[in-house]
Structure 1
Amino acid sequence: MVNVKNPVHKIYYYNDEELDGAGDVGHHSAHKIRSHKNSRRHRAAAANADGKLRFEPEPYSKKLELNSSGKIHCKVAGGVSPTVQWYLNDQDPLPEGVTSANGTLVVAEAARRHAGQYTCKAVDGEDTITSKINLDVVVSPRVIEPSQGEQRHARVGSQIVLNCRATGDPLPATQWDRNRTMLKLHQDGVDAEDAVNASTARVLVLNNGTLLIRNATEQDSDRYGCIAGNAAGLARNELLLIVHPEDEMPTSESSGVGGKAVVVSISVAGAYMLLVLALMLYCRRRRLNRRQRGEKEELEMAEGREKLVEEEDKKVGNGAPAPNGRLLPHDRDSGADNSEVSAISRASKKSGQYDHLAVPRSLLVDQITLGRGEFGEVSLAKIDLCQVKKLRNKDYAETEPKMAHVLVKALTSKDEVLLAEFRRQLELFTRVRHENIARLIGLCNEMEPHCMLLEHTDWGDLKNSRMLLHDWPRTGLLIET
């Protein structure tokens, strides 16, 4: 992450033209922009002047997809220190799976039992305001007939039946379109099942969503779409209808798209099962080989220990005998102990590679939490840079405190990928030294969680400061557009 320490220059635009501060048009436009911002500030200040407890904005009802997660915010303005809490209905406790945190209603996994009326209640002393919303749990519509991309073949003069069936909660309403143009009643011979001319209409829309085409002609060949919609959204599947003359009707082999799809599906499923079986056999064989290799190594180690004991017995037998003619237990295990000590020393040496960055956590003062970041909590604190320099250089003579703000990034995650990224950022900031890039102050690693201390920048990072590089190779200026 690269941070901007100081803005360099600003350029304002009006109607896609650069404004000159000395020009009349530029002066007028800049004055208009500043006046607009000031008026908005005055309106906001006037709205907050009375201090009356109110919702900003008012909570609104929401629909959640079944088994999805969602949040409903309840923000309160005014008052001294209002507390905000959500309730089911008026004062009932929230159902399992629904929580209230800092005025936000959180649904972890929406179930049908979570649907109902919820009340946001804000209390500030004797002042109380409430707002009620409705939470609906819905299921998005899904068209099950026709299937997407289906082809239908028919003869001229035949009767064609196109079914439109869909699922969802609430039950979706269905509608047909032709080449993405809605089929409207009393248009192009289209009529409804209950209409007066239903018996004579050539294209009839039945109450169950079926489209009936009587005495089909070649002009009926087109793309027909089944649209299903409910409160959760819309779904559409399209089929291709081809009306052939009687002497050009394709054979059942060429029109059997459904049969071909079944054959392809079965083939793919069979190939997948064979692949899974091959992977299972391969993993089993690897486990068996690993087990055999481990048992062989253990056997060789045991034989080696026995030979070592026998050799030591012979040496002791030629010199001063040991009790029972064997090595003492601690002598036999000394090799293992040495290996453990060497392993510990290697681990400590590896973990100590950042000791030159170590900063005691006790130097951090006035620490406040800003939020959560990539690795865990991110907070802002103050630190005495003179004390940090004394840790790096014992001969540093300056004693007057020099307090500075630092950004504290805590590593609370145990994920290996995030641990590697944390180390990568440490190494990156250790190598990079530039006056326009935030410096790495140190690392608090005497206890968990480990914390990376970075120089705090008033203007934030390049990603969120809406700054662009302009003429960088020529001037090196940062220009705000």
Structure 2
Amino acid sequence: VDDDGRLIIERIQKENTGNYSCVAENIAGRTEWTMNLFVTTKPVITMHPSSITVDENENSALFCNYESESESYTHVRWKKDGKLLGDHEDGNSNNPHIKIFKQNGTLLIESTKISDRGEYICEVVTIGFEPIVSNMATVSVTEILKFVPPPVNKKLELGTVAKIHCKAQGTPPPIIHWEKLGSGLDGFASHVTDMNGTLHFNGVLIEDKGKYLCTASNSQGVINATVNIDVVVAPKFSVQPKNPTEAIEGSSVAIDCVVEGDPKPTIQWDKNSKMNDFDRSRFIVLENGTLFIKEVHKEDENNYGCTAGSSAGLNRKEVRLVVHGRDHQADNGSEGSTVTKAVLITMSVAAAYIILVVGLMVWCRYRRRSRKLPITDSAKTENGDIEHTELKEAANGCGPGPSKVESEDPEATHKEGQKSDGAETTHSQGSSHSKKSKSSFDKLTLSRSNLKEMKLIGRGEFGDVMVARISKSVLSTPTSDKRHSTISSSGPTDEKELPALVKALTQTKDDNSLAEIKREIDIFSKLSHENITKMYGLCREAEPHFMILEYTDWGDLKQFLVATQKGDPPKLSPTQCLTIVQQIARGMDHLSSSRIIHKDLAARNCVVTSKLLTKIGLSRLTREPYSQEYCKHLNQIIPLRWMPYEAVYEDEYSTKSDVYAFGVVIWEIFQQGELPFPKMNDNSFLTKLKEKSLEWKYHKDTPPELQKLQETCLDSHPQNRPTFNTVVTEIEDILKSM
């Protein structure tokens, strides 16, 4: 006991446990205070939790046994994916189906859900000591086969583009397909497509009405759901009310509102937005929906609304009723007479002009035919039609042009150029088929022999992806020479060569792959922008076919950014990062203005030159080396961490989903190519995305104004995200301020 009255116990032992009394006294009296001292010991985990695999909706348990001499001062707590689980006994658990028994360390999960997948650890906490942490245990949940959510009956509007979703989950991922009951057909009509469980109607027809069966199957079994599809016609005005409608006080007036639709819509009239605010003795709604006023009063002047509604939707028209005084009738009669005269004069002049033009056309046609009659008679067949002489000559090995004899006679050549409309039409009809039959890809044809120094860099969804070099002169060669041209080995060695990306098209068996290849060709062959890669051509003379695209000396942006982490090349400054972001935004603005959706915008799919010129491409190295950046979800390989909620869970791709991916690309550029949420597995990411609880942390070098723009790009609601045009404008303003 020191001079201050403190009791100091050095090297405290278990036997120091007990009751201690502090006594103070003087001549005035005595006082005493008693306390209990309990000495705790460090706990020891005797059995660590083990990883388990459990079926969905089954109960599961994790055990964490320990020994402690201070059990009354020791309890167990659990963490899932690094976050503390609430205690059901204290009533603050976020997951009521998870129960933690503190005294024996057991974690009980009732009716295990998919969201319970994750990594668990237990911590044994004793007062006076740091928590003792167990080994990590993984809970894997075998998902039962089920629809998420079940498909429901739907009404489709006639003539519109519509989708019906059928999403199923299970382990392993199920195969989903649709069929129409009672159709008697194998497959669907040409305008209906079944793509990964989503039924696409490219223009709904009446015959699409009926019952549809969605079937999902995997090794667990087969489940199905039947939905009823009804084809409806939204209310449409066949006779619209005249706006404004004018009437004379005391007269009668009819305000038209004739509506068509299936099912037949009901019609409601309102006056100044108040339903049925009419004098029933004067206002009558006719069977066809027209509002008839027997006797118009001055106070009837107001706004009238006609609302047509059915299960197919609503349609509304508003009209202003203008009521004139009784003295307005005479003036109106003279005014109407003047208008009638003006209309009659205008129609008479128009009719005379039409007759004159038709007469001139007939006269010119007659003159032209009479001049060339001697020539065309010899070229006619028995039924009076001109023979397809050009086709016959081509069949005999002659070209479609004029013969040698014809070309030597200028007069004959001149007459030949005066073919009649009938002859020209016949010729165009004969040649149009051959033009259409030519592949639209002929103009992109390149010879495989023009590719040099081919080197494999990865593998994508269609096959191997390589880089090569191609002569600049080949790319400027006319299309007809490209497919046969080769570069002579004896030619000049200093000829300018360009890097090229070569995608081998081997995995092209299914319609989805072919459609995606066609989409890529359309994007990069038709668009021209300095921040979008060009298509150089297609090599189709041998299997596999090659798609040749523009590439750069520094390769893809992802590898460049990762290289800056090691200092070679040096780390980009914030201004340089923002310049790259600006270039990508400009390229995406050009894509979106052309109504094209990229669907896989990421640093790995952009390329950069040594001058930091950045271009948007689509190499899609889904297998190597970027397989970790893709995830298999509902039988599709998707870039999960670059996709918003509506694209992953509703299969809704749009320019706004590209804006979300652009927000992730900004994050990549400032984070030097790091994978978004690198410590989170795909299942946890899917859960966070579904809960809309992802928290993006921005790099300290990101300008505050850009952070605000990035937040709006990554908004979970697509309608809150900006357009690319707005993004480009804001980034330019940020650059100016820097």
TM-score if structure 1 supplies the norm length? 0.53
What is the one-letter code of the residue matched to 1:451? Answer: M
Partner of 2:408, secondary structure, is helix
User: How much does 1:106 deviate?
Assistant: 3.0
Match of 2:227 in 1: 133
Task: Indicate which of 437, 447, 453 corresponds to 2:549.
Answer: 453
What is the one-letter code of the residue matched to 1:251? Answer: N
With over 3 angstroms needed to count, the CA separation of the structure-2 counterparts of 1:96 and 1:238, relative to structure 1, is same
Q: Which moved more, 1:72-81 or 1:277-286?
A: 277-286
What is the one-letter code of the residue matched to 1:54? Answer: K
User: How much does 1:278 deviate?
Assistant: 9.4
Task: Indicate which of 214, 223, 229 corresponds to 2:303.
Answer: 223
Task: Indicate which of 73, 79, 88 corresponds to 2:165.
Answer: 73
User: How much does 1:269 deviate?
Assistant: 8.9
User: How much does 1:177 deviate?
Assistant: 2.5
With over 3 angstroms needed to count, the CA separation of the structure-2 counterparts of 1:220 and 1:91, relative to structure 1, is closer
Match of 2:155 in 1: 63
Q: Report if aligned partners of 1:367, 1:382 keep a CA contact under 8 Å in 2.
A: yes
Q: Report if aligned partners of 1:383, 1:406 keep a CA contact under 8 Å in 2.
A: yes
Q: CA deviation digits over 1:269-324, x for unaligned, max 9?
A: 969977995997799699979989x99x9699448389xxxxxxxxxxxxxxxxxx
With over 3 angstroms needed to count, the CA separation of the structure-2 counterparts of 1:165 and 1:280, relative to structure 1, is same
Question: Greater relative contact order (Cα 8 A, min sep 6): structure 1 or 2?
Answer: 1
Match of 1:100 in 2: 194
User: How much does 1:141 deviate?
Assistant: 1.7
Q: Report if aligned partners of 1:88, 1:119 keep a CA contact under 8 Å in 2.
A: yes
1:84 equivalent to 2:188? Answer: no
Q: CA deviation digits over 1:39-70, x for unaligned, max 9?
A: 9xx94857983322222343233322323343
Inter-partner Cα distance in structure 1 for 2:444 and 2:188: 50
Query: Which segments of 5 or more consecutive residues in structure 2 lack a partner in the other structure?
Result: 1-81, 84-93, 95-113, 119-138, 377-400, 411-442, 472-485, 491-499, 509-513, 559-602, 607-615, 617-654, 667-726
Q: Which moved more, 1:141-150 or 1:213-222?
A: 141-150
What is the one-letter code of the residue matched to 2:312? Answer: A
1:110 equivalent to 2:190? Answer: no
1:322-401 correspondence runs (5 A): 358-359=450-451, 367-369=459-461, 379=462, 381-383=464-466
What is the one-letter code of the residue matched to 1:252? Answer: G
What is the one-letter code of the residue matched to 1:117? Answer: K
Q: Report if aligned partners of 1:121, 1:128 keep a CA contact under 8 Å in 2.
A: yes
What is the one-letter code of the residue matched to 1:152? Answer: E
User: How much does 1:116 deviate?
Assistant: 1.8
Task: Indicate which of 329, 332, 337 corresponds to 1:251.
Answer: 332
Q: Report if aligned partners of 2:455, 2:467 keep a CA contact under 8 Å in 1.
A: yes
Inter-partner Cα distance in structure 1 for 2:403 and 2:468: 59
Q: Report if aligned partners of 2:235, 2:315 keep a CA contact under 8 Å in 1.
A: yes
1:219-298 correspondence runs (5 A): 219-249=299-329, 250-252=331-333, 254=335
With over 3 angstroms needed to count, the CA separation of the structure-2 counterparts of 1:302 and 1:120, relative to structure 1, is closer
Inter-partner Cα distance in structure 1 for 2:338 and 2:213: 54
With over 3 angstroms needed to count, the CA separation of the structure-2 counterparts of 1:444 and 1:286, relative to structure 1, is farther
TM-score if structure 2 supplies the norm length? 0.37
Q: Report if aligned partners of 2:254, 2:292 keep a CA contact under 8 Å in 1.
A: yes
Match of 1:18 in 2: none
Inter-partner Cα distance in structure 1 for 2:252 and 2:733: 73
Q: CA deviation digits over 1:220-257, x for unaligned, max 9?
A: 12332322222333333444433222222243354589
Q: CA deviation digits over 1:128-150, x for unaligned, max 9?
A: 22222221111222223344436
Q: Report if aligned partners of 2:248, 2:328 keep a CA contact under 8 Å in 1.
A: no
User: How much does 1:167 deviate?
Assistant: 1.3
Inter-partner Cα distance in structure 2 for 1:118 and 1:140: 22
With over 3 angstroms needed to count, the CA separation of the structure-2 counterparts of 1:92 and 1:355, relative to structure 1, is closer
1:51 equivalent to 2:143? Answer: yes
1:171 equivalent to 2:270? Answer: no
Inter-partner Cα distance in structure 2 for 1:274 and 1:125: 77
Match of 2:129 in 1: none
User: How much does 1:122 deviate?
Assistant: 0.6
With over 3 angstroms needed to count, the CA separation of the structure-2 counterparts of 1:229 and 1:92, relative to structure 1, is same
Task: Indicate which of 131, 151, 154 corresponds to 2:248.
Answer: 154
Q: Report if aligned partners of 1:150, 1:238 keep a CA contact under 8 Å in 2.
A: no
With over 3 angstroms needed to count, the CA separation of the structure-2 counterparts of 1:64 and 1:215, relative to structure 1, is same
What is the one-letter code of the residue matched to 1:85? Answer: H
Q: Report if aligned partners of 2:450, 2:487 keep a CA contact under 8 Å in 1.
A: no
1:183 equivalent to 2:275? Answer: yes
Q: Report if aligned partners of 1:86, 1:103 keep a CA contact under 8 Å in 2.
A: yes
User: How much does 1:169 deviate?
Assistant: 1.1
Partner of 2:268, secondary structure, is strand
What is the one-letter code of the residue matched to 1:209? Answer: G
What is the one-letter code of the residue matched to 2:194? Answer: S
With over 3 angstroms needed to count, the CA separation of the structure-2 counterparts of 1:65 and 1:270, relative to structure 1, is farther
Higher Rg? 2
With over 3 angstroms needed to count, the CA separation of the structure-2 counterparts of 1:248 and 1:423, relative to structure 1, is closer
Partner of 2:327, secondary structure, is helix
Inter-partner Cα distance in structure 1 for 2:235 and 2:215: 34
User: How much does 1:264 deviate?
Assistant: 11
With over 3 angstroms needed to count, the CA separation of the structure-2 counterparts of 1:154 and 1:291, relative to structure 1, is same
User: How much does 1:202 deviate?
Assistant: 4.2
1:11-22 correspondence runs (5 A): none
Q: Report if aligned partners of 1:381, 1:405 keep a CA contact under 8 Å in 2.
A: no
Task: Indicate which of 207, 213, 219 corresponds to 1:119.
Answer: 213
